[in-house]
Amino acid sequence: MIQASRDLKEKVSVAEQRLWEYFRDGRFCNVNFNRQFVLGAYIVNFVSPEHKLVIEINAESSLESADYHARKITYLKSLGYKIIHFWDHDILHNIRIVLEVIHNEVDRELV
C-alpha cells in the first residue's frame, strides 16, 4: 500500500495538485494535511488525522467501483473520520467555495 501511495503522488490530477497548493505545509487554516495517505486497506486523497477529516476528489471517470467506494466510506467512518467529496471540476473552477466548505468543517470540529 505504501508503494501504491507513492505512485499516486507522482500521478496526481490537476485538481489534486491545485488543492495541494493550498494544503501543503499547513498553509490552510494551520491544518496539516497529508496526501495519498494510507488508512487501513485504502488510500485517501487528503487527510488531516488531527481533525479526523478526509477530503476525496472524485474525477468524472473515477476508477473506484460503487461497491469499493461504499466499503471505503464505511471503513473511514468506522474510524471516526468525516469525509468530504468534491468533483475535480469544482476544485478547478470553484476553488474558493471548496476552501470555504473545508474551512467551515475545520471550524465546526474545533467548537
User: Which bin fits 80, alpha (ψ -120 to 50), beta or left (φ > 0)?
Assistant: left
pTM metric for this prediction: 0.84
Break the chain into its structural domains and give their ranges: 2-110
Q: What is the pLDDT of residues 84-95, one digit of tens each?
A: 999 999 999 999
The CATH code of domain 2-110 reads 3.40.960.10
Q: What is the pLDDT of residues 18-77, one digit of tens each?
A: 999 999 988 898 899 999 999 999 999 999 999 999 999 987 555 567 888 899 999 999
Q: Note the pLDDT of residue 17.
A: 94
Where residue 5 falls among pLDDT bands split at 50, 70, 90? very low
Collect all residues with Cβ–Cβ distance below 8 Å to 106 and sequence separation of at least 6. Answer: 29, 31, 48, 51, 53
